[in-house]
Amino acid sequence: MAGRRALHFVFKVGNRFQTTHFFRDVLGMKVLRHEEFEEGCKAACNGPYDGKWSKTMVGFGPEDDHFVAELTYNYGIGDYKLGNDFMGITLASSQAVSNARKLEWPLSEVAEGVFEIEAPGGYKFYLQNRSLLQSDPVLKVTLAVSDLQKSLHYWSNLLGMKIYEQDEEKQRALLGYADNQCKLELQGIEGPVDHAAAFGRIAFSCPHKELPDLEDLMKKENQTILTPLVSLDTPGKATVQVVILADPDGHEICFVGDEAFRELSKMDPEGSKLLDDDP
């Protein structure tokens, strides 16, 4: 699937100040852009909420070639119940390990040179105590699945991801669209996947001309389409087209037209200031 790329994971955050402190000062990411919205998103980007919300994109570098985090803040909602759906993001950064120690942010070593750390809200990150030269430190996003084979059929056969690793015994698989992109790890669990209220969303881009075909394929295969092809406006920025899908376990997946998204996602030098100036 040439031209498809992994973009970001959407987190709902209850405390924007504490959360941005974690991503900036502990993980060492930068604020790439910050946007405010007066009403809920047509594609439910901010969840099932109608009120005022904000979106802050943070990452180790530009969205063109880095997998980043989208921090979604719904004004007036202070916390979200966590499910068992999101199992963590793994990144390679000895600087993040050093930052966490310096700031006395709790770390626990779960394997040699790998530390588990929790963002505000309970989201787990795994820090490998090493650094990558000239590539994105974000290595993989891990999501829970109830039936690995069913999920592999969906992500590989229908969405066209390459299977990089598969371990039947450990019930896990690693998939991706390209060697140099953040991967998706599917981890089998016992029982159903519970998304609770904190459920996130993983986003990918594809050439915009593929979006109608992708929607048609999902209809033909009787798969869930949460939001049929729709245009989303960002005040003063590019309008993008998206289709929102759900995999067999209900994980939300956004596909956005790549060309307009590259325009929308340009780094805003004022991003940090806009975030810090907001009440």
- Cα–Cα dist 218/228, whole Å: 10
- Cα–Cα dist 150/230, whole Å: 28
Tell me the residue range of the domain where 198 lies: 5-277
- Cα–Cα dist 274/69, whole Å: 17
Q: Is the pLDDT of residue 265 over 90?
A: no
Q: Is the pLDDT of residue 229 over 80?
A: yes
Condensed to tens digits (0 to 9), the pLDDT of residues 163-184 reads 999 999 999 999 999 999 999 9
- Cα–Cα dist 91/64, whole Å: 18
0.85 surpassed by pTM: yes
User: Shortest CA distance to 55 belongs to which of 190, 201, 186, 165?
Assistant: 201
Considering only residues 34 and 135, tell me which one the structure prediction assigns the higher pLDDT: 34
The reported pLDDT for the residue numbered 237 is 80
153-157 contact pairs (CB < 8 A, 24+): 154/223, 154/247, 154/248, 155/184, 155/186, 155/247
Q: Is the pLDDT of residue 79 over 90?
A: yes
Give residues with Cβ within 8 angstroms of 130, minimum separation 6: 92, 94, 113
The reported pLDDT for the residue numbered 279 is 62
User: Shortest CA distance to 252 belongs to which of 131, 90, 107, 72?
Assistant: 72
Give residues with Cβ within 8 angstroms of 137, minimum separation 6: 60, 91, 92, 93, 96, 131
- Cα–Cα dist 140/55, whole Å: 22
Q: How many domains does the chain have?
A: 1
CATH of the domain at 261: 3.10.180.10
* Under 8 Å between Cβ of 163 and 175: yes
Mean pLDDT rounded to a whole number for the chain: 94
- Cα–Cα dist 176/5, whole Å: 8
